[in-house]
Structure 1
């Protein structure tokens, strides 16, 4: 059986499984095996572990088809071209900082989903919502955005279609705060935006599940029923203690349109305040890029085109352009394909050069296999982004590489 060492992928010994084709091992350094072959038993794996092997290299093509191979993520492996090796320590420090913020953001998002679920449960049970707990979470989230908004965006970009309502509420809250910070709004207003975002779809708890989860386009009658979630929301938030006008407007205005053809009140033009217009943009963007039971999520680039097509009659054109500028043509957390065929997650934005972010590469479309995880800084590379990639169109599951 023929294999090439360059086709091998480095994985942790803990991820080694039966059926994988091992070509090399590492205790303190890599040793290529003369007797390379497939792992046939758990005993073989245990022997490697007992002998102190920390990593192994496996050939994906020669491994059993059912094997799930998870490449080792090596933070130090930063690709820097054009001879600018002096930038490596700086990027490494930045990467370590991102790791810390990424873990914090992950905890924050998990807390937010738990909070959103609690709010939905309380609403379903007819209990009065309290703002205090949401405010505490909002304070933490705003601090995270000011420290490293990229980390929060990257975590919030990871979605599961079976928990759409929770994730959409949390994502809208995060995006509103990020957008508000970009516009220079005060921290107090950012907190109110976060609270409004996390409760903005609270009325959907009263919508019939058959309509809410329908895996097809709604009929005109079903759509009219869906629109009632705003009526329900108004009733629900009337009893919320301490809710600000900004939070209330975000909740009740995210379906209004500048031409007056939105709902529930048919507001138009200047009747819709800044935070109401912001919520319209953010709500549509997140809905377009989310995977639902009835549709696949689209790439950010495709979503931007639709947002622009909705100006100036439905959406505020100036705010749409500012929103695109805020999160970038290739937002943190989105998936892109590079000019060498590798695919990766936009990991860190570059405010001075939005088309040259740092990309966490993990797969090659050219060779149709996983590659060693590496951070590619496009600002110091001859590579460029060829196109944005919708997660559902990718041949492999990108979720493990968001960690």
Structure 2
């Protein structure tokens, strides 16, 4: 459904009725809605009033026939508005729009930064942590304001850019996880830096092994494990690297029972950030498309994490990680019990099985549908199952944008 907010008329909020198509709201400033639509309930009108909204902008041509419109004469109330504070009341969706634009910029910058670090490593140049710190601060700010936006953007994957995207995602997930555990902001920053560089040693692994579209032979796997030895050598050229960042880089393949690599560390030798990096690294690797496998759904990945809990991974932290990102993580694909398919759009910490879902396709009718945002907490619909993106018959990528 197409509309132009500039063609809408302004009406007092008290005259807004069911069936009107709202494109913007106003307190003392006009705010165009990121996804406009018809008013479907009296509750929605009441919520706008409670939020201090004084006027609504409506598109007459897209409203239900029979609606009575009472346009406002701006000149009559301009003096009244001059006395109002310069504050616009933005709905959740408008705030998400702003945060998601910021998140997209952060992810783009991160990929460029990761590529720059790889290039500098190839050229034998010294890497300065200062180049990463500013980006790490932006990630932390984004997670603290709206972690859903960052998770949704980072969920978009390209298997041909796995090394870059995996490093960025691990960094972002570590910050989200660390926030959930209430770790200090400085620790979050150092974990983000460690996440960006954690796989830097892979640039020295033979490309035939790194990109082999089949299971590695024992000899090839031993060669692959050398990427951690290479990483230890490479990060000696990273000036200003903290112990936390170094641990994240060098401990993400260590296991509690001492069977990991490169140092065969045991539980008592692994600090919390080292244990967290192992969980996050495995989860992101499992859910990503690779040259030799398709990505799993989050539910399938959780089963594997739980199977490793206690022996390889910290059991308590595994449970906390699952609780942190949700049974249905933001950015994952789910199918509702009525056949609609959508992207998990925002989390519900109090009831993790009932997030908000952005529905865009119907498996029942085998066609795209008008985009709708379904809050499972307040809907008769329920989530039936998670879907790995490659198992969906249509491309969900365009619907990650607002």
Q: TM-score, normalised by structure 2?
A: 0.80
Q: 1:309 to 1:87 in 2, by over 3 A?
A: farther
1:89-238 equivalences under 5 Å are 89=48, 93-238=91-236
Q: 1:78 to 1:175 in 2, by over 3 A?
A: farther
Unaligned residue ranges in structure 1 (runs of 5+): 1-9, 14-26, 29-72
Unaligned residue ranges in structure 2 (runs of 5+): 9-32, 52-88
**Alpha-carbon distance between aligned partners in 1 of 2:40 and 2:90, rounded to the nearest angstrom:** 12
Shift of 1:221: 0.5
The question of 1:345 aligning with 2:343 is answered yes
Q: How many residues align?
A: 337
| More moved, 208-217 vs 87-96 | 87-96
| More moved, 350-359 vs 389-398 | 350-359
**In the alignment, which of 295, 298, 305 is matched to residue 296 of structure 2?**
298
**In the alignment, which of 297, 301, 311 is matched to residue 309 of structure 2?**
311
Q: Determine the structure 2 residue equivalent to 1:336.
A: 334
Q: Determine the structure 1 residue equivalent to 2:364.
A: 366
Q: Determine the structure 1 residue equivalent to 2:320.
A: 322
Q: 1:86 to 1:316 in 2, by over 3 A?
A: farther
Shift of 1:379: 1.4
Q: TM-score, normalised by structure 1?
A: 0.80
Q: 1:350 to 1:92 in 2, by over 3 A?
A: farther
Q: Determine the structure 1 residue equivalent to 2:374.
A: 376
Q: Determine the structure 1 residue equivalent to 2:264.
A: 266
Shift of 1:12: 8.1
What is the SS of the residue equivalent to 2:239?
coil
The question of 1:257 aligning with 2:217 is answered no
Shift of 1:92: 7.6
Q: 1:12 to 1:159 in 2, by over 3 A?
A: farther
Task: Determine if contact 1:74/1:374 at 8 Å carries over to the other structure.
Answer: no
Q: Determine the structure 1 residue equivalent to 2:35.
A: 75
Task: Determine if contact 2:39/2:45 at 8 Å carries over to the other structure.
Answer: no
**Alpha-carbon distance between aligned partners in 1 of 2:39 and 2:310, rounded to the nearest angstrom:** 42
Q: Which has the higher contact order (CA 8 A, sep 6+)?
A: 1
**Alpha-carbon distance between aligned partners in 2 of 1:367 and 1:74, rounded to the nearest angstrom:** 27
Task: Determine if contact 2:34/2:94 at 8 Å carries over to the other structure.
Answer: no
**Alpha-carbon distance between aligned partners in 1 of 2:161 and 2:221, rounded to the nearest angstrom:** 21
Q: 1:270 to 1:77 in 2, by over 3 A?
A: farther
Shift of 1:76: 3.2
Q: 1:304 to 1:230 in 2, by over 3 A?
A: same
Q: 1:316 to 1:335 in 2, by over 3 A?
A: same
RMSD, matched Cα: 2.1
Task: Determine if contact 1:346/1:359 at 8 Å carries over to the other structure.
Answer: yes
